[in-house]
Structure 1
Amino acid sequence: MLIREITQENEKKILSPYAALSVNSRGRIKPEKECDIRTCFQRDRDRIIHSQSFRRLKHKTQVFLAPSGDHYRTRLTHTLEVSQIARTIARALQLNEDLTEAVALGHDLGHTPFGHAGERALNGLSPNGFKHYEQSVRVVDYLEKDGKGLNLTDEVRNGILCHTVGEDAYTLEGQIIRIADKIAYINHDIDDAIRAEVMNEEDIPLDLRMSLGMGKSERINNMVLNVIHNSSHERILMSDEFWELFNDLHDFMFTAVYRNPVCKGEEVKAVAMLEKIYEHYIKHPEELPYPYSSVAEKESVDRAVCDYIAGMSDNYSLKVFNQLYVPKFWIE
């Protein structure tokens, strides 16, 4: 037997009856010959890790814009934390870890520079709106590999699309990512805010700390355990009581951090910069680099400009803005 076939047989023996088996995948948009070693979900994970979009996540803002410290989260480290939490849940529920990991690693590939501020900027500028989870699917379907895409399985694409809002993913593995994403960001955002001296652990209401956990590790552990104990073969979820507490913590973070002028003071500048870049390329689509120039011809200029900006890292968007709007001085 091939190594892949041995793995597929082991999945049947070990995983839950409700797990998504790689041998039963709905397949890819373009059919491919199977790998001798890796299952289809393992190949998807590897394709995502080796993609340019994945590497660019290291220079994309999570919450704190251009932090000077080495230990603040970026979009890449956020993604890795989501993957770790999601795999823990998947293993405990005997679900497919490879599928779970692939969705986790790909869920934010379409995120803009400067975090959700960049997403709101493009959503307001584009007549068609902009949602990062839809853009993530677009990245893996069309934009990666110079317009060829990664040709991922339907299960991974669906998990990426459904990781934020709206309809649940049709696999339990995909559903894990939505809740693992929330567990990861609420806790690492608290950690980063404490590091930035925006808040202290003790600022969190005592009743929330006593119920959810007195520190980051305890909170994550309790949230993960609650998900494991309350999920069913139909849905991945927290208990109603714990979910309400989570939302109370989220409301606290909106007031203390997400809308705090110390954290968000530079966002206005970042949004204005992206607006100027958007306006320039809308007027001058001939200046778009390939493959975005091809997108402008085949689809629309707006679509191409949004693709280009969404793919930028924070650093690259600054470079583009400087090239477009900051004068170059003669050097003797």
Structure 2
Amino acid sequence: MERAASVVDAFAQRMREQEELTLSPLAVRSYGGRGRERPEEQCGVRTPFQRDRDRLVHSKPFRRLKGKTQVFIDPQGDHYRTRMTHTLETTAISRVVARALRLNEDLVEAIGLGHDTGHTPFGHAGEQALDDVLCARFGRRFRHNEQSYRIARRLNLTHEVCQGILTHTGSREPETLEGKIVRLVDRVAYINHDIDDAIRYGILRDSDLPVDEIGLLGPTGSERIDTLVHDIVVASEEAGDIRQSDEVGEAMLSLRAFMFERVYLGPHAEPEHRRAHDVVRAIFERLVAEPERLPAGEGDLPDRIMDYVAGMTDRFALAYAASL
């Protein structure tokens, strides 16, 4: 036991010294934070944030992301993005930004991997549908970031990771620069890969994309991401915070507005949204009427229904509704 304790102490000390040499003064350190709600022994070969990353990767909510599509409901094709691929793209880009700014890559990675674990099936259409039925029946609201936060707390992740997951969207700002990176890069990732998927689906053509924004950011997804990442790094280094330049930031917001108009809320989206709402409502109403169908879980009836429905993959939800 003494030998094991010495190994743990030596690893932690080595990591502290390494971070003092390599990280920015603005970076969160891996040791000395607010820790976990339920205290645990330190791991002898991983920092707390590395342990959070591994705990997420090995969790069921993370694995189910591969069965939750990003924009289109259960599309026929192997190359459409899922929540899993979106999560991996967001995490990878976030690590690039963090390394360039000498911030804590392990913290960024854990937040990135966990940020969408609470997302519903059927993307934001499913999220809206679950929010609608919960509000109408129980006066409760559903937000996927809050559900991801619930999962993170159940996994007993560190405060810094939990808080970054909770604030990756919504009105609350992240406490750390690492959390701010994931919040911004989440948009960088989904805007660009959703353009790619919309073109593959036949909703958009390259010629439909707004000329000025594409001229500034780049004609391909990879070029746009490269432009956006370089801009974030330069603007953030100058500001001592996570920022975009005005010109590039406005172009990205304009491109996002275009995607909402033409793709997320466009004419093709109405039947997809109706389908998602019908499926979620049918499952919800049956679970309210027959709560014995629910697996064992924590919390009151709304919590248990929310956990079960939000955890479903697209195909499971479609099959479950059909079986009713």
TM range (shorter): over 0.9
Q: How does 1:92-131 map to 2 (within 5 A)?
A: 92-126=100-134, 127-131=139-143
Q: How does 1:285-324 map to 2 (within 5 A)?
A: 285-291=291-297, 295=298, 299-323=299-323
Does structure 1 residue 22 correspond to structure 2 residue 30?
A: yes
Q: Counterpart in 1 of 2:265?
A: 259
| Preserved CA contact (<8 Å) 2:118 2:146 | yes
**Aligned-pair CA distance for 1:270:** 1.9
**Aligned-pair CA distance for 1:7:** 2.4
| Preserved CA contact (<8 Å) 1:230 1:237 | yes
Relative distance call for 1:245 and 1:289 in structure 2 (3 A) is: same
Q: How does 1:129-208 map to 2 (within 5 A)?
A: 129-141=141-153, 149-208=154-213
Secondary structure in 1 matching 2:243: coil
| Preserved CA contact (<8 Å) 1:231 1:237 | yes
> In the comparison of the two structures, how many residue pairs are matched?
311
**Aligned-pair CA distance for 1:316:** 1.4
Q: Counterpart in 2 of 1:210?
A: 215
Q: Counterpart in 2 of 1:230?
A: 235
| Preserved CA contact (<8 Å) 1:8 1:39 | no
Relative distance call for 1:264 and 1:92 in structure 2 (3 A) is: farther
Q: Counterpart in 1 of 2:288?
A: 282
| Preserved CA contact (<8 Å) 1:100 1:176 | yes
Secondary structure in 2 matching 1:41: helix
Does structure 1 residue 33 correspond to structure 2 residue 37?
A: no
Cα separation, 2, equivalents of 1:202 and 1:240: 25
| Preserved CA contact (<8 Å) 2:23 2:103 | yes
Q: Deviations over 1:171-202 (max 9, x none)?
A: 11011001110000000000111111211222
| Preserved CA contact (<8 Å) 1:159 1:169 | yes
Q: What's the C-alpha RMSD, in Å, of the aligned pairs? A: 1.4
TM-score normalised to structure 2 length: 0.92
Q: Counterpart in 1 of 2:19?
A: 11
**Aligned-pair CA distance for 1:234:** 5.0
| Preserved CA contact (<8 Å) 2:29 2:104 | yes
Q: Counterpart in 2 of 1:144?
A: none
Cα separation, 2, equivalents of 1:306 and 1:168: 25
Cα separation, 1, equivalents of 2:240 and 2:126: 35
For structure 1, which runs of at least 5 residues remain unmatched after alignment? 142-148, 326-332
Does structure 1 residue 76 correspond to structure 2 residue 84?
A: yes
Identity %: 48
Secondary structure in 2 matching 1:160: helix
**Aligned-pair CA distance for 1:263:** 4.8
**Aligned-pair CA distance for 1:204:** 1.1
TM-score normalised to structure 1 length: 0.90
Relative distance call for 1:133 and 1:158 in structure 2 (3 A) is: same
Cα separation, 2, equivalents of 1:40 and 1:205: 44
| Preserved CA contact (<8 Å) 1:65 1:267 | no
Cα separation, 1, equivalents of 2:109 and 2:97: 11
| Preserved CA contact (<8 Å) 1:85 1:180 | yes
| Preserved CA contact (<8 Å) 1:172 1:234 | no
Cα separation, 2, equivalents of 1:53 and 1:159: 17
**Aligned-pair CA distance for 1:209:** 1.0
For structure 2, which runs of at least 5 residues remain unmatched after alignment? 1-6
